[in-house]
Amino acid sequence: YQGRPWELRKVRTTCPYCGVGCQLELNLKGNKIVKVMGVRAIPNEGRLCVKGRFGMGFVNHPDRLKTPLVKKNGELVEASWDEALDLVTSKFKEMKEKYGPEKMGGFSSARVTNEENYLMQKFMRAVIGTNHVDHCARLCHASTVAGLATTYGSGAMTNSIMELEDADCILVIGSNPNENHPVIGTYIKRAAKLKNKDLIVIDPRRQNLVRYARLWLRQFPGTDIAVINGMMHVIIAENLHAVDYIAERTENFEAVKETVSKYTPEYVEKISGVPAAEIIAAARLYAKAPAASIVFCMGITQHTVGTDNVKTMSNLAMLCGNVGIPHAGVNPLRGQNNVQGACDMGALPNVYSGYQAVTDPANRAKMEAAWGVAGLPDYVGMTLTQMIPAISEGGIKSLYIMGENPAMSDPDCTHAIKEMQGLEFMVVQDIFLTETAKLADVVLPACTFAEKDGTFTNTERRVARVRRAIPPIGQSKPDWQIISEISTRMGYPMNYKNAEEIFEEIRTVTPSYAGMTYERLESGGLQWPCPTIEHPGTQYLHKGQFTRGKGLFFAIEHQDPAEMPDADYPLYLTTGRLLYQYHTGTMSRKAVGLNEKAPECRVELSPTDAEAYKIASGDMVRVTSRRGAITAKAEISRKAVAGTIFIPFHFAEAAANTLTIAALDPVCKIPEFKVCAARIERA
Ligand code: SF4
């Protein structure tokens, strides 16, 4: 029973799960969400995936945090807001005086609104006085931001979601949109099936899109650069590259030409396992398409060569003139609902909102004037993946964590938990008592997306409204309000009346958002850059000219992953998401329907490996790496390639990140979640 139509109240808002940013209508009976419907609007045109339609049970879930909690004698006990905020304020002041602001860190969140991300980085910089602020983009797309900003000048999806359907060729590499961005998956399937466009899938797993693909290249994990260099070798050798475009719009092509000259299809076959003939066929298909789009995700980014992987995608697209035109481009699919927005808002250690570098004196002066402070820190702060290990070295003494769950999401998470236990003071602000919140000294109850106003920015740079549908559950408060109250108590008043007032401040200091207002966003959202109030927003980037001027080619060589299989750990282990669950499960595991479909962790392995290790589907297996071991059920699947096992990272009781390696990309410090070595045995 979902309520009779006349009993239901409807509120349009933006999906709180993935970066597609589907527009949906919450149907409410009283203050309870009883049904969710898709809205016929960009980018989803009425479609929703199973998470958007059936995954909202977390909002009204009985386990929601309803009061602040304060740790007393090792136990978290209920406290009043005054008691909790007094404690937070006095401890933050004490930490700042005792150790200095550079020993304090803040984790912002891809789960919360733009307004809240903006305030978190403002609080850490203007009030605490540190640039140690980061968020989980570090774990998913930091390499995209670093790679694309260097090659093109703008670290975001170049084109728009709905353009995919009319791309002449779509190359999907290291991305599984049917499970992770399902509505984008529908556009790709429509292109391949209904419009007969060419689809190339490059992925070690036999993911669902393979059924629709003209070509499927099954590479060894961590060999993407070799495969793409091989394709570029063929394109150049067969004169299929865009000679005029390269001459007019790019630089450093000759260096790439020289580097890829040795990546013959036969040489690449030896590195990647992909037959030479398939590399040639993929190169021809991609290069001959008038508009070809590259779609990638964490199979590209979560590597020690993540930034180089992204630069290689840039190289291929420029080689064939596929940037700055409709239906083409380089299109990273951002994972979480507002990971694009959290980056745009400067919840990063090196930039303010709009990617304005903290090291530039002019930018600091601008922010000091806007915020009414002096002496903003001028150094690049620590990343999330640097802050956690810095704890045991005495580099970080306190953390303020908003809407993040590093106890589950960090690589080698047993070690991450030990590190966080060494903090002198830790505040967690969240909607549930997460694995990380359990470690905190103070837990502050925050509102979900359904209880607050604001904006999210989706993967195609579209800023869309989030609208309050119900009052806060229990004593929870919107994150922006909690940050404001802490800031005010610390002597820097933040007296915003509502989220719109914060957005108005964002506009004044962020050129790419300057033309947006809540009133303009009412008509369906705007894509940045949107520099003036008359500007219609930008459907695709780099038209006529790259953001940085000329597109920059980089000559890049293949490198092996940090840890390769060996005699002790003979299998590749790779991790990822399932359609029915989401990230550390904080939200999706509170939704009854989703849990029925994917109730537990399953270790996916190939029939070949199952036979070799005498494992049957449903057997309990122990998977061990150099960092630890987990026990879970086995699932024998044709998706898996022999020699590689796959484990989803949603399940705390069998946390995949117990096994993963904390090896980092040297440029952007993203961990290599996608490759490490492991062994498997029946438990
Ligand atoms: Fe929500 Fe993403 Fe599903 Fe759309 S595709 S309904 S944004 S989870």
Residue-wise pLDDT tens digits, 368-423: 999 999 999 999 999 999 999 999 999 999 999 999 999 988 888 888 999 999 99
Question: Cβ atoms within 10 A of the Cβ of 505, count?
Answer: 17
Residue 14 alpha carbon, nearest atom of ligand 1: 7
- The 3-state DSSP class for residue 330 equals strand
Banded model confidence at residue 656, pLDDT cuts 50, 70, 90:
very high
Token readout for 12 is: 């349009």
Identify whether the C-beta of residue 574 lies closer than 8 Å to the C-beta of residue 674: yes
Angle, CA 180 vertex, CA 275 and CA 182 arms, to 5° = 100
Taking residues 212-223, report their average pLDDT.
95
**Interval 533-553: pLDDT, tens:** 999 999 999 999 999 999 999
- The 3-state DSSP class for residue 465 equals strand
Taking residues 154-181, report their average pLDDT.
95
Q: How large is the greatest C-alpha to C-alpha distance in the chain, in angstroms?
A: 72
206 pLDDT above the threshold of 90: yes
CA 501 / ligand 1 centre spacing (Å): 28
**Interval 450-500: pLDDT, tens:** 999 999 999 999 999 999 999 999 999 999 999 999 999 999 999 999 999
> CA-to-CA distance for 416 and 584, rounded, in angstroms?
15
Taking residues 417-446, report their average pLDDT.
97
DSSP 162: G
> CA-to-CA distance for 170 and 647, rounded, in angstroms?
27
Contacts of 118 (CB under 8 A, 6+ apart): 345, 346, 353, 502, 505, 506
The confidence score (pLDDT) of residue 140 equals 79
> CA-to-CA distance for 411 and 647, rounded, in angstroms?
13
The closest of 12, 298, 14, 60 to 180, measured between CA atoms, is 298
> Is 16 touching ligand 1 by the criterion CB < 6 Å?
no
> Is 39 touching ligand 1 by the criterion CB < 6 Å?
no
Helical H runs in 295-412?
Answer: 298-301, 306-319, 339-344, 361-371, 384-390, 406-409
Banded model confidence at residue 1, pLDDT cuts 50, 70, 90:
low
The confidence score (pLDDT) of residue 224 equals 96
Angle, CA 616 vertex, CA 611 and CA 617 arms, to 5° = 130
Contacts of 559 (CB under 8 A, 6+ apart): 225, 304, 305, 308
Count, in order, helices (H) and strands (E) of the chain.
24, 28
Taking residues 2-14, report their average pLDDT.
88
Helical H runs in 320-465?
Answer: 339-344, 361-371, 384-390, 406-409, 413-421
The confidence score (pLDDT) of residue 141 equals 83
> CA-to-CA distance for 226 and 271, rounded, in angstroms?
7
Give the residue whose CA is nearest to atom 2 of ligand 1. 18
- Whole-complex ipTM: 1.00
CA 460 / ligand 1 centre spacing (Å): 14
**Interval 348-357: pLDDT, tens:** 999 999 999 9
Identify whether the C-beta of residue 425 lies closer than 8 Å to the C-beta of residue 95: yes
CA 17 / ligand 1 centre spacing (Å): 6
The pTM assigned to this predicted structure is: 0.94
HSE-CB of 646 using CA atoms within 13 angstroms: 22
- The 3-state DSSP class for residue 226 equals helix
Domains and CATH numbers, the chain: 5-58 (2.20.25.90), 69-136+337-527 (3.40.50.740), 158-333 (3.40.228.10), 571-682 (2.40.40.20)
> What single letter denotes the amino acid at residue 118?
Y
Token readout for 109 is: 């969140």
> Is 583 touching ligand 1 by the criterion CB < 6 Å?
no
Pocket test for ligand 1, best of 35, 47, 49, 161 (most atoms within 8 A of CB): 49
Annotate 420-445 with three-state secondary structure: HHCCCEEEEEECCCCCCHHHCCEEEE
Contacts of 312 (CB under 8 A, 6+ apart): 224, 225, 228, 229, 554, 556
446 pLDDT above the threshold of 60: yes
Residue 436 sits at φ, ψ, to 5 deg, of -75, -40
> Is 54 touching ligand 1 by the criterion CB < 6 Å?
no
> Is 587 touching ligand 1 by the criterion CB < 6 Å?
no
